[in-house]
Amino acid sequence: MYSKPTLIVMICFFMNIGFGFAQSDKQKELEAQRKKYQNELKQLNALLFSDKKKEKSVISLVEDLNYKVNVRKNLIKITNDQANLLTREINDNQNEISSLREQLKQLKADYAAMIVKSYKSKSEQSKIMFLLSADNFQQAYKRLQYLKQYRNYQEEQGEAIKSKTARLQELNTSLIQQREDKQKLIEENRIAKKQLEGELKEHETLMASIRQNMSKYASQIKVKQQEIDKIDKEIDRLIKEAIAASNKKAGKSTTSKGFALTAEAKQLAANFQSNKGQLPWPVEKGVVKVRYGNQPSPIDRTVTFNSPGVRIATEQGAKVRAVFDGEVSEILVIPNANPVIMIRHGNYITVYKNLSKIYVKKGDKITTKQEIGEVFTNKNTGETMLGFGVYKDSQTQNPASWIYKM
């Protein structure tokens, strides 16, 4: 059996270890987020800000800077959270070191007292006399057990001292590393804040030029949005026609809002559904420049537009990949617009817009990650932007819910 003081020491020791692990897990989570934002900034710089020779429109520059500023702010916040957590961990470690030193001091004092007592009665003869002076056999047996327990207790105290000493050394080493890590984070945040200040100034300069001729830029955005809406309306029409055709073939009402599925199509849809959140990106490299749903206008934050999918900025010559097995249901070509590929996966459809080259034809069976085309690059601005959407029957879905880490 352990003595009460030893049990208390052991309980404190394991509680401190458990708390240390919890803090470490939180640090790992924050570090993963920080690296994610750092990588996103690298991709942004490579994909949107690398070609200074190309003259982008003011609106595109504002969109790009909006995105970059938001990512930079997220990075600064996460880095602050990390530094604050490290401060708490350092304080906890310092408190634990103080507590351990007090416990170690008490353990050493108890151990020294036991050593002195043991030395005074170390004679084997005195131990034998202690046993022989018992009134009966039962008492002698109890005295023998006492001697064994006393020896075991001495060993426990010695091991406890070793454990405490090792733990102190470990905490001291950890404390030094934590302080170094905190200084690195503080320095990184100082640099990030300086970069953010520069980006905000650039953004304000661009916005000032836009405000001087707001009607002109508002008109440009309206025309661009009308072109996008025209394509999206055509996609909606084709999907509804495909749904009606599938129901007519199955002998069901053509007014149904969902596809009539064969057994094979049901299985394909189930497989697509089971991979939600794990589907590959439709391009190998890219950042989501425009997200799904209601989005604020880049020049007037009070005005919003609805995005039925996402727009992904990628590199010139980027190949478009199917995100899942399926069949090419449509290749859409609209005057004054770039081609669109639609791939059906049971009652799900994925849409790939703004292509320059098409590698497939209607009716082709497609496999996951198969290259189906190439993204169009605007020669004037250097922008390479893929429009990507996910539909369940005729209803749009948020691609970020389906694509891995979008």
Tell me if 252 is assigned to some domain.
Answer: yes
CA distances from 65 to 33, 59, 203, 378 (A): 21, 10, 6, 19
Kindly state whether residues 240 and 140 are assigned to the same domain.
Answer: no
> Residue 13: what pLDDT?
47
Reference 405, options 286, 247, 228, 265; nearest CA is: 286
Please name the amino acid found at residue 158: G
The answer to the question of residue 286 being in a domain is: yes
Helix axes 137-212, 124-132, angle to 10 degrees: 120
Nearest to 329 by CA among 355, 310, 309, 349: 349
Residue 217 lies in a domain: no
CA distance 14 to 343: 56
Q: Report the pLDDT value the prediction gives residue 288, as an integer from 0 to 100.
A: 93
Judgement on whether residues 205 and 311 belong to the same structural domain of the protein: no
111 in the same domain as 86: yes
Tokens of 403: 């694509």
CA 173 to chain centre: 29
- What's the domain count of the chain? 2
Residue 93 φ then ψ, to 5°: -65, -40
Looking at the structure, do residues 83 and 152 belong to the same domain, yes or no? Answer: yes
Residue 243 within a domain: yes
Is the domain of 60 the same as that of 134?
yes
CATH number, domain of 370, equals 2.70.70.10
Q: Round to whole Å and give the CA distance between 404 and 329.
A: 24
Domain boundary among 212, 244, 271: 212
Q: Where a domain ends, among 188, 212, 236?
A: 212
The pLDDT of residue 129 is: 63
Q: Within this chain, do residues 199 and 239 fall inside the same structural domain, yes or no? A: no
User: Which pLDDT score, from 0 to 100, does residue 8 have?
Assistant: 47
Same domain flag for 100 and 193 = yes
What is residue 57's predicted lDDT score, i.e. its pLDDT? 76
- State the DSSP code for 401: G
pLDDT value of residue 10: 46
The verdict on 367 and 281 lying in the same domain is: yes
Asked whether residue 193 falls in the same domain as residue 245, the answer is no
Q: Does residue 353 sit within a domain?
A: yes
In a domain, 169, yes or no: yes
pLDDT, position 51:
66
Are residues 43 and 165 both part of a single domain?
A: yes
Q: Report which DSSP code applies to 400.
A: G
Same domain, 231 and 202: no
Query: Which residues of the chain register pLDDT less than 50?
Result: 1-22
Q: Residue 251: which region, alpha, beta or left (left: phi > 0; alpha: psi -120 to 50)?
A: left
State the amino acid at position 278 in one-letter form: Q
- Whether 242 and 329 map to the same domain: the answer is yes
Write out the residue range of the structural domain in which residue 128 sits: 4-212
218: in domain = no
Nearest by Cα to 327 from 286, 371, 366: 366
Q: Tell me the per-residue pLDDT of 338-375, one tens digit each, with 9 for 90 and over.
A: 999 999 999 999 999 999 999 999 999 999 999 999 99
Q: Which of 184, 212, 240 is the endpoint of a domain? A: 212
Location of structure tokens 């001291």: 172
For residue 19, what pLDDT is reported? 46
On whether residue 220 sits in a domain, the answer given is: no
